[in-house]
Each structure stands twice: as C-alpha cells, then as structure tokens.
Amino acid sequence: MFLPQLMARAGQGEKLVVLTCYDASFARLLVDNGVDALLVGDSLGMTVQGHATTLPVSLDDMVYHTSAVARGASGRAFVIADLPFGAYQTGPARAFESSARLMAAGANMVKLEGGSIMAETVAFLSDRGIPVCAHLGLLPQSVNATGYRAQARDEVAAARLLADAEALQAAGAGMLVLESIPSTLAGQVTARLAIPTIGIGAGRDCAGQVLVLNDLLGLTEKPPRFSKNFMAGADSLAGAVRAYAEAVRGGAFPGPEHSFRCD
C-alpha cells in the first residue's frame, strides 16, 4: 500500500486504523484483521528491549525491525518507521541518510518528532521522494524535557501547536500524529489540515487512531490513560485486533475516558 491509497481512504471519511508493530508474525496478524498501517515505533525500546524510554533505540534497531515488519506485511499495509533519537536532529542531510536506510528496509514513510524547527528537514525529505509523518504533542524523544504528560493544554501552547501543524503540512508532511493533547485542539487541527491526523490520546475527531500494540493486548504494567485493553473479553489475539479496528472505524474508540481536556 502507498500513501495515495491511504489518503484516499481518509478523504472518503474512513477512519484509519494504525497499530505499532515490531515483527513479521504480528504484521501478518494485524493486516489480516483490519489494520491499515503498521507503525514500527521506537517504542520498541520499551516494549521489546525493556528500556525506560525510547532514547536508547538505534537506527540499526529500527532498520532490523522495519525489515521484519515489511516482510510480514507483504505490501498489504502501509508501513511507517520511526526515525530514532539522534538519527535526524542534526539536519536534513543526516535525516536523509537515516531515512534512506529505513526506506530500503521496506518502510513506506518515516516519522519524526518536533514542530516548526523540523520544517526544513521535512521539506528536504519530501522533495526527495521520502514521505514524512510528523509528530506533535507529547514527544517521547523529549521526555527528559517534558516528562510523560499531556501537552498543549493552555491557549498559548495550543496556538503554537496549531502553527507547528500548519508549518509541517506546508513543508510537505503527508500525515501527522497527535499525542496526548486536548481532544478539542486535535479536532481543530484535523479540521484545519488537508493531511490525515492520527491520534493517540487526542480524542475521536482525528482522521485515525494508533495504539501501542502491547497496550492493546494488556501487556503493559502501567498503561497510559488513553489506551484500552482490547484483550479483555476477546477470545484470541486476532479477536482483540478486530475489536480495535471495528471500534476505531465505528467511532466507539477512543471515548471521553481516553481523552484529555484543556486546563
């Protein structure tokens, strides 16, 4: 699957179903049960490697897991790969080198964190044929500066996030992840942009939703408030994934209990 196909679905009003994925077996299972896009997230640093944050994840780690997921997906789902910490922040040339490795491994798009400061890098990659997913709100790679808490909950921060979103779209971003921001703000961003927004802790008005697979399967010791254990009541892994896909497309997930409000 390529970006135009995914954007066509979003343009027709279909909610996009996204999950993190780190290996070929789960890639096949997710695709078989209604997931549109697989995010090879640097969250693997926590879910697979056992680190406390995503920061220790290397580009080699991401290339390895991206290639495994791409083989499992076999072209039947859109594969997004995170650029890990340190692999793009020093400038467009470094970001291109890192992105080229992920694309060669099978990614259809790369994802990077940050606001307007990343616009030059987004434009550089987009102009060279590399689709980019931007990421605003809670930025896990900036956890030492912000902690794990909801972002943009006051008027000044909300206005800055809106400006960042527009700048990233103008630079060529093809998609935008919104993490842990007020649902009303996520709705405003979604309405203002032409590109799909993918929410995680950002309310139901986004064009799609993403969860960390381990949270969905009830494997996380202290899951974030925006997640839901879809294994509860399910008779199989496949059943849990199908339930998530159906809940997203039907608008049942996320609910108000999975969302944040302004201060």
For residues 248 and 228, the answer to whether their CB atoms sit within 8 Å is no
Known catalytic residue at 155: no
Q: Which residue is associated with the tokens 């859109």?
A: 78
- 93-120 burial, b at 16+ Cβ within 10 Å, e below that, comes to eebbebbebbbebbbbbbbbbbbbebbe
DSSP 117: G
Q: Which residues pair with 138 in a beta bridge?
A: none
* Crossing angle of the two packed helices 119-127 and 92-104, in degrees rounded to 10: 50
For residues 261 and 184, the answer to whether their CB atoms sit within 8 Å is yes
Distance between CA 101 and CA 74 in Å, rounded?
Answer: 18
For residues 165 and 114, the answer to whether their CB atoms sit within 8 Å is no
- Active-site entry in 179, 221, 246, 257: 179
Distance between CA 183 and CA 260 in Å, rounded?
Answer: 6
Query: In whole angstroms, what separates CA 93 from the centre of its chain?
Result: 23
Phi-psi region of 14 (alpha: psi -120 to 50; beta: other; left: phi over 0): beta
Half-sphere exposure of 6 (CA within 13 A, CB side): 28
| Paired tokens of 163 | 């400006």
Which residues are catalytic, by number? Answer: 179
